[in-house]
Amino acid sequence: MSTEAKIEIDRLMVSTSPHIRCDESISKIMWSVNAALAPAALFSVYNFGMPALFNLVLCIVVAVATEYLILKWQDKPMVINDGSAFLTGLLLAMNIPANLPWYMPLAGSIFAIAVAKHTMGGLGFNIFNPALIGRAFILASWPIAMTTWPISKDMVGKVDGLTSATPLGILKQQGYQKLVEHFGDHATMYKSLFLGARPGSMGETSAILLLLGGIYLIYKGYIKWQVPVIMIATVGVLTAAFGGDPLVHMMSGGLILGAFYMATDMVTIPITTKGQIIFAVGAGALTVLIRLQGGYPEGVCYAILLMNCVTPLIDRLVRPVKYGARR
């Protein structure tokens, strides 16, 4: 039988679903997200020094070890090389200050894996993003430590002391003019926010590196562009509507990190594109509400977690109607 004839026969073979296959896997997707985050993570080490490296390694090792012990205790297959626990630890580390004492990220990593992930059933069953739950746990337990930010390498000698407020903190407490004065002028402020020469959580400072990683994930088809773009745009539009500087709010805090790498979590967001758009608008609106009217200067973490709560409802509301049936 010729090769051409064999190919034609293979095309006519009937098998069980799924009928459309690809070479992607959970492991490949997870490690690709880890790779997309790597430049911003490495920049945090450059920006904040050895404490950042220590907490990065600590969060990742503890997250992976916790997953290993839980799977061993439950007598489940030891699938710890899929990159999901590594990603949870990496994201948690990127959402905390670099100078956090070692026992805090350790506790947060255990909580993220043991409670937020495995009490829900493990990978694919968690209703909340585990890294954000870990961050929320640390913030609730040690609020002062979680709001004490080390100065970046480029700011040494330019400000007094070893710690400084984040741009959103200055904006919240002292106003927009004080924020501009903190950087010197508008151009320097925007440049610092874009490149990362500012205080903040380890992985949220460099907007350009986070954007490049996010664009890579969109190019590979691992995330849809609608979620991050609409969430960030919603923050910009609403901030401008309330008289704020949209560029400052779009580049400050954990918005870009959250929009590209956590709001797009395929487990905790709606299934359909329409549902994901609703999710993104809601997360952006809640971020602005918390930033402008809430007690915290930052609102991305809680905005995404709150929208995770309503993901099942959104899926139900936008569920496609069966052919011939009424909604």
Upstream peptide bond of 167 is cis (omega within 30 degrees of 0): no
pLDDT of residue 87: 94
Assigned token pair, 209: 């590196």
For residue 199, CA distances in Å to 21, 150, 154, 261, 327 come to: 45, 6, 10, 20, 50
Please check whether residues 41 and 134 belong to one and the same domain: yes
Residue 111, domain member (yes or no): yes
Residue 218, domain member (yes or no): no
Please give the residue that has the higher pLDDT: either 23 or 306.
306
pLDDT of residue 65: 94
Please give the residue that has the higher pLDDT: either 325 or 157.
325
pLDDT of residue 161: 43
Residue 219 has pLDDT above 70, yes or no: yes
Residue 193, domain member (yes or no): no
Q: How far is CA 247 from the centre of its chain?
A: 19
Q: Which of 49-53, 122-126, 253-257 has the lowest mean pLDDT?
A: 122-126
pLDDT of residue 321: 75
pLDDT of residue 200: 85
Please give the average per-residue pLDDT across 59-86, as a whole number. 86
Residue 297, domain member (yes or no): yes
pLDDT of residue 284: 96
Confidence at 140, pLDDT banded by 50, 70, 90:
very high
Residue 45, domain member (yes or no): yes
Indicate the number of domains in the chain.
Answer: 2
Which residues span the domain enclosing 278?
224-317
Please give the average per-residue pLDDT across 167-178, as a whole number. 89
Please check whether residues 135 and 37 belong to one and the same domain: yes
Confidence at 79, pLDDT banded by 50, 70, 90:
low
Confidence at 162, pLDDT banded by 50, 70, 90:
low
Specify which residues 213 forms β-bridges with. none
pTM of the model: 0.88
Asked which of 125, 146, 167 is the last residue of a domain, the reply is 146
pLDDT of residue 42: 94
Asked which of 146, 163, 179 is the last residue of a domain, the reply is 146
Residue type, 98: A
Please check whether residues 34 and 121 belong to one and the same domain: yes
Please give the average per-residue pLDDT across 41-59, as a whole number. 93
Confidence at 160, pLDDT banded by 50, 70, 90:
very low
Residue 140, domain member (yes or no): yes
Residue 175, domain member (yes or no): no
pLDDT of residue 16: 60
Please tell me what DSSP assigns to residue 154.
Answer: G
Beta carbons within 8 Å of 247's beta carbon, 6+ residues apart: 190, 193, 236
Asked which of 130, 146, 162 is the last residue of a domain, the reply is 146
Please give the average per-residue pLDDT across 103-124, as a whole number. 92
Residue 74, domain member (yes or no): yes
Please tell me what DSSP assigns to residue 78.
Answer: -
Long-range contacts of 264-270 (CB under 8 A, 24+ apart): 264/217, 264/223, 264/224, 264/227, 264/228, 265/129, 267/123, 267/124, 267/125, 267/126, 268/126, 268/127, 268/128, 268/129, 268/308, 268/311, 269/227, 269/307, 269/308, 269/311, 270/311, 270/314, 270/315, 270/318
pLDDT of residue 157: 46
Confidence at 13, pLDDT banded by 50, 70, 90:
low
Angle at 287 between CA 285 and CA 292, to 5 degrees: 95
Confidence at 14, pLDDT banded by 50, 70, 90:
low
pLDDT per position as a tens digit, 252-265: 989 999 999 999 99
